[in-house]
Chain A
């Protein structure tokens, strides 16, 4: 970040060059949080993606039953993944094809089996919903665990430097030498039958390395900044400096890389399940569904389309949210200059000229 959180408004009002007039007008009198929020809300792709992601999460988790331990609910969809009703014949002579119709007309709506049925009649909508639940769960758990561990280790290494840093970074080097898919495969193969949650927990324990390096770098530069010195001179404890002065300034980097980590995690999970090392039957995941039905693509393509569609939607929206956050947190980025901005800039310029 180019300037510290506290000095933002000061620095902005000092630079009054004509070319910065637009940018300055935008941030005057606002706190860092407000600026970031405002920039993020203006990022159209990110806002759409956020909306899509939230809708997908709500839809997926309410549609099919969901249980963690004793807590849970039954979904509003009337089939579960274990029901196997008779295969329905469809107009073109095929069996079990999707009944979802989005064009207005007689059949408009979900129908009996919106995403069709698999080869023995399982309702594919229920399977995809369960798969998407698993994938989302894995993604969020990995994001949470890896995000926490990465931030903590990166902060400690970057803040205390020296021997601590050396030891922690060698640990990171250890883990980085083993490609994530290898770790995933080994873990998945041997612990995959414990269920998706455990798989995600184990994967999260290995996925934090890249993040911790980034956070460490950020801490190394931030701890040399004047406002940290000022805080130390004023008698602030290490704890206070870390949590009140450095962490808020590093939070942008952290959030952005956690989103990237999560979009990578969903692909890792699907890839592992595809190889047979991730979520295993009788549980369901999106990668598993694709892997199971890839050969039936020519005859019953919907078995292949719908899980893929969900993977892409989830990963794409997480990526766009990450992009929006990056833009929002980066004070150096220049927003697209619209006609309205140009008009305002020339107004400001005229005002200045008339004053001088």
Chain B
């Protein structure tokens, strides 16, 4: 194994060397930075040209210049890597250091949502293969697959941002929208749950009525203007999470797991006010992380207390539900910031912005306002990126799960009388996740350089903008800096995904040669 990894790392270095060499020379020979000055009639042009040639070291032929650049990179072994300077005399590494976090912020949420939603939809469509639900989701996933992202982005800006802002400013749902939304969600749930006509109609009716009632109630009580959950609603959500997570993770028959999850719900209720006190007085990222750790510790303890023999699944269930309940409390706290945020400078009752990374008019926002501000700025780009990328996950997870469900061991599992939940979650879904994990790893590495168009449409300045500027400005060092980051990540991700594959799937052995 060790030898295998070392050999692969060795090849990686060679590959990176080769592709950076090719890219460097390709870019260097295909454009001349002095071209503009050559035809310039400015008397100073000659001088400027000499300066430019010296600055960019143009008298050295590109292959030799490449090795000079490489020397800077190889300094990484001595501790200070040198990407060189941009044409505007900034450190490339400084530009990268400011661009990478922006890009990460832009794509992380979208990637997570796309993965979770995509897999969930893929699994449900596979389980309802050839149902109407399956056809509808398949059609939409193909449609998403075929959409150019800049087109979607402009549409989102025009329709969603404007209409949604109007709605958020007024806080009233028009009757037509309420009915339409309720019908859409009702069909969604009925499509997932109802396999027979009778259950389908029942779920359809129930979901429509409850959705419609909820929307009307929220609308009439001006909830959208002053959204809040409060301890009681948080507790109701927590109980719902407890049952839902247990049902999926271990099945409701496993009483200890259910008890542990319920305990977490009660803890959520008890801790609601103390945690809010902490949020109001000591809010920071570290507090959130500490609280998350505390939640997991509590969940672990609750799992230990209730479990009799199967400790693992019980603790796992408690931890997942605890984490989700924590998220609900954070969401509740964010909602409390909503009403004051609406009135702030630069927001003025239209909270969904169409461009930018944050509101420049906010002066010294507190932690929660800042968080909320950044979240609303992420709203449209996240929707656009999610819409485009989750179609792939739907298709892939659906296909893989269908293939797994055809395997003999699934038949065996069913034949020995396991419950359908166990067959699906433990035997089928886990095996579906093996190829999915490896794909996700590679995708996650790819998104660092991948959001070029989204950044441009929504006016973010991350890696994509950097790259764009580097190409059109013929800024070789900057371009190579961006390339170095994306390429290194992508080859490493490929290696990790290979190793993961062999770790997860005992049928596959790497390095057995």
Contact = CB atoms under 8 A, between A and B. Distances in A.
Contact of A275 (B406, B452, B490): B452
Contact of B11 (A170, A181, A294, A316): A170
A334 to B, nearest CB: 8
B468 interface: yes
Interface string B415-455: 00000000000000000000000000000001001101100
A110 interface: no
Contact of A277 (B15, B146, B471): B471
B453 A290 contact: no
Contact of A297 (B22, B27, B158, B494): B158
A186 B449 contact: no
Nearest to A264: B145
A323 B471 contact: no
Contacts of A275: 452-453, 456, 468
Given A185-B471, A312-B143, A191 B452 contact: no
Interface string B136-180: 000100110111111100100010000000000000000000000
B143 A316 contact: yes
A320 interface: yes
Judged by DSSP, the binding face of A is helix
A145 to B, nearest CB: 18
A139 B374 CA distance: 39
B449 A270 contact: no
A336 interface: yes
A291 interface: yes
B385 interface: no
A190 B406 CA distance: 50
Contacts of B11: 170, 173
Interface size class of B (residues with CB under 8 A): 35 or more
Contact of B142 (A308, A323, A336): A323
A336 B406 CA distance: 15
Nearest to A49: B142
B417 to A, nearest CB: 20
Interface in B114-152: 130, 139, 142-143, 145-151
A179 interface: yes
Contacts of A133: none
Contact of A316 (B15, B142, B154, B449): B142
Contact of A174 (B22, B27, B158, B449): B22
A267 interface: yes
Given A186-B23, A263-B145, A316-B142, A179 B486 contact: yes
B63 interface: no
B26 interface: yes
A332 B150 contact: no
A277 B452 CA distance: 12
B270 interface: no
Contact of B150 (A190, A277, A294): A294
Interface in B1-52: 11, 14-16, 18-19, 22-23, 26-27, 30-31
B15 A173 contact: yes
A175 interface: yes
A287 interface: yes
A319 B151 CA distance: 18
B15 A319 contact: no
B148 A291 contact: no
A276 interface: yes
Contacts of A308: 148, 151
Interface in A324-351: 332, 336-337
A182 B154 contact: no
Contact of B154 (A263, A270, A304, A336): A304
B19 A174 contact: yes
B148 A181 contact: no
Given A181-B452, A189-B31, A274 B150 contact: yes
Contacts of A185: 467-468, 471
A316 B146 contact: yes
A170 B19 CA distance: 11
A356 interface: no
B158 A178 contact: no
A267 B487 CA distance: 22
28 contacts: A170-B14, A170-B15, A176-B490, A176-B494, A177-B15, A177-B16, A177-B487, A178-B483, A181-B452, A182-B449, A182-B486, A185-B467, A186-B23, A186-B26, A189-B31, A189-B471, A270-B148, A271-B148, A274-B453, A275-B453, A287-B148, A291-B150, A297-B158, A315-B145, A315-B147, A316-B142, A319-B142, A319-B146
Q: Which 5 A-B pairs have CB atoms at the shortest separation, nearest pair first?
A: A315-B146, A190-B30, A336-B130, A316-B146, A177-B487
